[in-house]
């Protein structure tokens, strides 16, 4: 039994398939449709990305969504933002999931099949970002819940599109369309939705032809700065997010 067989069906919110050349497609979903992000997927994706990164037979990874969105809906189910132990779990998972994404030491392609309204940091840690005309970016849920956006978007958006643009994007909950995101450097290509995965696989199969150590070490070389940014800043950002969540909890208790 190959290593892939041990985890390919282990994650209820990720559909995994791999080509003979080692191109792994990871489609996030909920019950076969659009992903609804919650506390359970928050925990699950830590192990998912770890298993992907630990499998030497993965040569290129394509991360995509299912249905009409990459990630645009969140549920509070499984989250506990408002107790110390509950937030400690979120804090630990929030740090680990991003480092596990960076520990996928082969080229990573994000194929964004629709809106990305939360956890856009997943896409910004990819080496190549493909979008459809329907793709829009926004950091919606943090301010909706009254908490600071400290889980990596605070670090990566200013890095990718520029400090002033990135801060404006987060503070105003700006909706950034795919073409503007391309012009600003957050997207590489905008392709029709019915060609998105074909284009992702076309690029991936080309990369899979590189010598294994060449593609692996190129990914490592290209992400060293991102690794430093995440390692230095995400723990602090998550701590600030937790303080703001504690204030929300206090306000809720006062009005109850």
Q: At 252, is the pLDDT very low, low, confident or very high (cuts 50, 70, 90)?
A: confident
* DSSP assignment letter at 210: S
Nearest-angstrom CA–CA distance, 10 and 123: 23
Residue with tokens 């969140």: 74
In this prediction, residue 250 carries a pLDDT of 82
Nearest-angstrom CA–CA distance, 189 and 122: 17
Report pLDDT digits (tens) over 33-89: 999 999 999 999 999 999 999 999 999 999 999 999 999 999 999 999 888 899 999
In this prediction, residue 104 carries a pLDDT of 98
Q: How far is CA 213 from CA 1, 160, 162, 182, 239, in A?
A: 24, 27, 32, 30, 37
In this prediction, residue 82 carries a pLDDT of 82
In DSSP notation, 180-199 reads: HHHHHTS-SEE--GGGHHHH
Report pLDDT digits (tens) over 192-251: 999 999 999 999 999 999 999 999 999 999 999 999 999 999 999 999 999 999 898 888
**Percentage of the chain exceeding pLDDT 90:** 93
Nearest-angstrom CA–CA distance, 9 and 208: 23
CB 124 within 8 A of CB 60: no
| Whether pLDDT at 256 is above 60 | no
b/e per residue 3-33 (b: at least 16 CB within 10 A): ebeebbeebebbbbebeeebbbbbbbbbeee
Active centre residues (catalytic) = 121
**Percentage of the chain exceeding pLDDT 70:** 98
Structure tokens at 9: 């069906």
Those residues with Cβ within 8 angstroms of residue 72's Cβ, 6 or more apart along the chain or in another chain: 34, 114, 115, 116, 117, 118, 140
Per-residue pLDDT averaged across 11-15, rounded? 98
Give the H/E segment covering residue 85. helix 84-102
Report pLDDT digits (tens) over 20-29: 999 999 999 9
| Whether pLDDT at 1 is above 90 | no
Nearest-angstrom CA–CA distance, 140 and 235: 21
Residue 188, classified by CB atoms within 10 Å of its CB into exposed (0-12), middle (13-18) or buried (19+), is middle
| Whether pLDDT at 253 is above 90 | no
Torsion angle, alpha carbons of 53, 191, 204, 13, to 10:
30
| Whether pLDDT at 183 is above 70 | yes
The pTM is what?
0.96
Taking Cα atoms as reference points, which of 108, 97, 116, 89 lies closest to residue 35?
A: 116
Q: At 160, is the pLDDT very low, low, confident or very high (cuts 50, 70, 90)?
A: very high
In this prediction, residue 36 carries a pLDDT of 98
Structure tokens at 43: 């925990």
In this prediction, residue 177 carries a pLDDT of 98
- Residue 154, sorted as left (phi over 0), alpha (psi -120 to 50) or beta, turns out to be alpha
């Amino acid at each position: 039994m190959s290593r892939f067989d041990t985890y390919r069906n282990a994650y209820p919110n990720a559909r995994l398939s791999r080509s003979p050349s080692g191109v792994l497609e990871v489609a996030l979903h909920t019950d076969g449709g659009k992903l609804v992000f919650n506390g359970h997927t928050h925990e699950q994706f830590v192990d998912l990305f770890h298993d992907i990164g630990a499998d030497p037979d993965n040569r290129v990874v394509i991360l995509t969504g299912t249905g009409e969105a990459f990630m645009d809906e969140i549920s509070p189910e499984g989250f506990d933002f408002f107790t110390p132990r509950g937030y400690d779990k979120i804090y630990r998972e929030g740090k680990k999931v991003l480092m596990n994404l960076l520990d996928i030491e082969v080229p990573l392609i994000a194929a964004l099949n629709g809106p990305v309204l939360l956890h856009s940091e997943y896409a910004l840690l990819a080496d190549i970002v493909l979008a459809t005309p329907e793709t829009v970016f926004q950091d919606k849920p943090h301010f909706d819940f009254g908490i600071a956006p400290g889980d990596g978007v605070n670090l990566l958006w200013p890095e990718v599109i520029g400090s002033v643009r990135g801060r404006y994007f987060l503070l105003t909950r700006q909706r950034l369309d795919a073409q503007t995101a391309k012009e600003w450097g957050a997207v590489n290509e905008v392709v029709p939705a019915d060609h998105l995965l074909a284009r992702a696989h076309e690029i991936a199969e080309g990369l899979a032809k590189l010598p294994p150590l060449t593609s692996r070490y190129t990914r490592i070389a290209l992400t060293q700065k991102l690794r430093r940014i995440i390692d230095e800043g995400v723990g602090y950002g998550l701590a600030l997010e937790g303080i703001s969540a504690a204030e929300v909890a206090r306000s809720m208790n006062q009005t109850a």
